[in-house]
Structure formats: structure tokens, C-alpha cells
Amino acid sequence: MPTNLPPEYFIAEERFKEAKGFQEKIKALEALIATVPKHKGTDKLRADLRRKLSLLRQEALKQTKTAKRNIFTIEKQGASTSALAGLANSGKSSIIASLTKAVPVIADYPMSTVAPLSGMMPFEDIFIQLIDLPPIGNESTDGWVSSIIRQSNSIIIVVDLSDDPIAQTELLLEQFEIWRIPLRKRSDRDSIDPNKKPVIIAACKLDLSGSIERLEDLKRVYESLYPIIGISNKTKIGLEELRRTLFEISQIIRVYSKEPGKEPDLQAPFILPRSSTVLDLACKIHKDFLTKFKYACVWGSTKYPGQRVQKDYIMQDKDIVEIHLK
């Protein structure tokens, strides 16, 4: 590989490696090719990348024509994935419709959702994937529903404030125990277990008569354990709080890379687990940076802008990081 590749190449290369799905990979590879300077030393590299791009396009076309899509699986996308779990007519589909561009079937009859539906919820400069699922407690769907919930990064438990939200919550929590899906409680924040799913309880239909009182009853029982947000998809009350809380429980941070002497790219953050170090970011950009790392300059969480830090510095959300190599 040529030794005079610009830093933009390694950043674009990492984004190509992380891309999921043919279309996302094709777009990322096109961006990668654009970073390669044109001279004799890069002729072979550019030819290899163009060949790889051609193969990807052929595979994408072949998949479109011949592949049979399994409707009971969802490809994970975005910075994080959250599954919506609730009983029939609890308001899951209305949340998806309010927070994403997905178009679910919303009806008063039970089981209007018969297959998983994915939608991308924008939050500032990233997207969080929401997955609408059939109601919990149906033997014909519970098998693959529990599988999707288990693979998600977090869970939104959806309850209906026009009914008894405490009883609904109890039933859903019991079902998670049966499925052996452990949930993260508020008391777990200081000792995070990666096997436990972060949870929000979204109490829908806050606009209906008597719902405020039932919300307060629900909070008295469960708010010490999980975040509870009352929402109305009709009046939009609580939706922004739900959006922000979902990001907060996802345990991720956004970090922006910066080259010396240049402005940072604030449109394409790197997504890392909370408590990640600048060395974690360096390795994410390119594996060779592990041995070449010298120091980093950080804007955001440091005492002063551009402060020089070592490899074990723990980054915070929205930090800007400039990595210097040996």
C-alpha cells in the first residue's frame, strides 16, 4: 500500500468497513476512492478499489433480482437500535409514525402490526433505529419478537394510559424474565453490565381523560427503577423528551475527528461506547494508529480548547479530537 495516503483515506476506509448493506457499502467505497490521490504510486490501489466497487454493484443488482427477504429479521442501522415492546393497541406504531418517516399500520383493532417495521429517528446529527413489533403475548410471533428485542441495544416499553399502565408494565416485565432478557435499572448506572438492556417506559395517550393521574400512579411504582415519560402522539407532548432520553440511555458518544490545520467534519461523527479513550478512536480510524499514536488534542471536555492529552484520556459526547502520530 502507498505510504503517502492522506489521513482522509484512513477515516473513509474505516467508514467503509463499518458500512452495512450493499447500498451503504457502495456509497462508502465511492467516498473512499475519492480520497486516493492520483499518481503512479496509487495506480494499483485505485484499480483494486474500482474492481471492488464493480463487484459490489453486481452483487447489489443480483440481490435485488433474486434474493428473498426474510420479513422477520431487521438489519441494524444507525448509531443505536431500540425495540418497542407493548401489548395490543398500546401506541407503539404511533410512536414510530411520530418520530420517524416510517408508515406503520395504525388501527384500533389488535394485531395491526404483524411484521417488524424499522424507522430511523433523527437526533441532532445521528439517527437511532426504532423497531415496531407485534404485541407481546402472541404465541405465533413471540419467538422472533423476543429475538429482535434481544439483539437490540435498548427497549422502549410502551403502555397505554387509557387502561391500567401498572398491570401492563407488570405483564411485560414478567415476559422479559421468562425470555431471560435482563433489564438495566437506574441503580445499575455506576456498574454497567453490557448484557443488561437499557429501558424507557413510554406511557402513551397522555391527552386522554384520567391519563395524568394514571401516569403519576405508574411513576410511584416504577420510576425508581426505570425512566418513565408520558407522551401524546396527537399533541406531541413528551416526544422530544423521549428522543433525548433514548439517546442518553444508549451509552454512546459522538466524537468528531479533526486534521491539523483543518476544520472538523461536524456532519459525520464517530460513534463510540461511553468511556471510550482517544486511543479507542485512533484504533477505530485505522488499526495502524495503535502503534503510531503519539498524542491527541481535544476540544470540548478539556479545561481549555485544543488541550494536549494522552492515549488514556476519556472522551465525552461531542468532543473534537485531533490525533497526532509518530
Q: What is the DSSP letter of 122?
A: E
Q: Are residues 54 and 157 in the same domain?
A: no
What share of residues in the chain are helix, strand, coil (percent, to 5)? 40, 20, 40
Comparing 204 with 45, the larger pLDDT belongs to 204
Question: Measuring CA to CA, how many Å separate 226 from each of 80, 110, 129, 189?
Answer: 19, 27, 21, 11
> Residue 272: pLDDT band by 50, 70, 90 thresholds?
very high
pLDDT at residue 108, as a whole number: 54
Residue 156 sits in a domain whose CATH number is 3.40.50.300
73 falls within a domain: no
User: Residue 67: its pLDDT value, please?
Assistant: 42
Checking if the pLDDT of 138 tops 80, the result is no
User: Which residues make beta-bridge pairs with 321?
Assistant: 257, 298
100 in the same domain as 62: no
Report phi then psi at 200, rounded to 5. Answer: -125, 140
Residue 115 lies in a domain: yes
Residue-level length of the chain: 326
- Same structural domain for residues 201 and 54? no
Instruction: Give domain status of residue 185, yes or no.
Output: yes
Q: Please give the DSSP secondary-structure letter assigned to residue 132.
A: E
Instruction: State how far the Cα of 313 lies from the Cα of 302, in Å rounded to an integer.
Output: 10
- pLDDT for 202 equals 98
The reply to whether 74 falls in a domain is no
Query: Contact 153/81 with Cβ under 8 angstroms?
Result: yes
Which tens digits make up the pLDDT trace of 70-120? 556 778 889 999 999 999 889 999 999 999 988 776 555 454 456 788 999
Beta strands in the chain (DSSP E): 80-86, 117-123, 126-132, 154-160, 199-204, 228-230, 252-257, 270-273, 293-299, 307-309, 319-325
299 lies in which domain range?
Answer: 255-326
> In this structure, what C-alpha cell is assigned to residue 323?
490525533
The Cα–Cα gap between 173 and 168 comes to 9
- pLDDT bin (cut points 50, 70, 90) of residue 249 is very high
* Residues 132 and 223 grouped into a single domain: yes
Of 249, 271, 287, the residue that ends a domain is: 249
Round to whole Å and give the CA distance between 249 and 242: 11
Residue 124 lies in a domain: yes
* Same domain? 185 vs 101: yes
Query: Which CATH number does the domain housing residue 271 bear?
Result: 3.10.20.30
- Residue 87 and residue 58 share a domain: no
Same domain, residue pair 59 and 17: yes
Same domain, yes or no: 298 and 211: no
The whole-number pLDDT of residue 240 equals: 96
Question: What would the pLDDT profile of 292-318 be if each residue is shown by its tens digit?
Answer: 899 999 999 999 999 999 999 999 999
Q: Residues 135, 212: one domain?
A: yes
96 in any annotated domain: yes
Residue that finishes a domain, picked among 249, 278, 299: 249
Beta-carbon contacts of residue 262 (< 8 Å; ≥ 6 apart): none
pLDDT of residue 106: 59
Out of 15, 47, 68, a domain closes at 68
> Closest by alpha carbon to 276, among 303, 294, 298?
298
Query: Contact 298/320 with Cβ under 8 angstroms?
Result: yes
Query: Are 281 and 325 contained in the same domain?
Result: yes
High-pLDDT (> 90) share of the chain, %: 55
Give the pLDDT of residue 45. 86
Identify the band that residue 326 occupies on the pLDDT scale cut at 50, 70 and 90. Answer: confident
Q: Are residues 139 and 245 in the same domain?
A: yes
- The answer on 183 and 44 residing in a single domain is no
pLDDT tens track for 213-245: 999 999 999 999 999 999 999 999 999 999 999
Question: Is 75 domain-assigned?
Answer: no
Split at pLDDT 50, 70, 90, the class of 43 is confident
Q: Residue 112 in 3-state DSSP?
A: coil
- Give how many domains the chain has, as a whole number: 3
| Mean pLDDT for all residues in the chain | 87
Please report whether residue 279 resides in a domain: yes
Residue 259 burial (CB count, 10 A): 14
Query: Measured at the alpha carbon of residue 317, what is the angle toward residues 201 and 276, in degrees to the nearest 5?
Result: 100
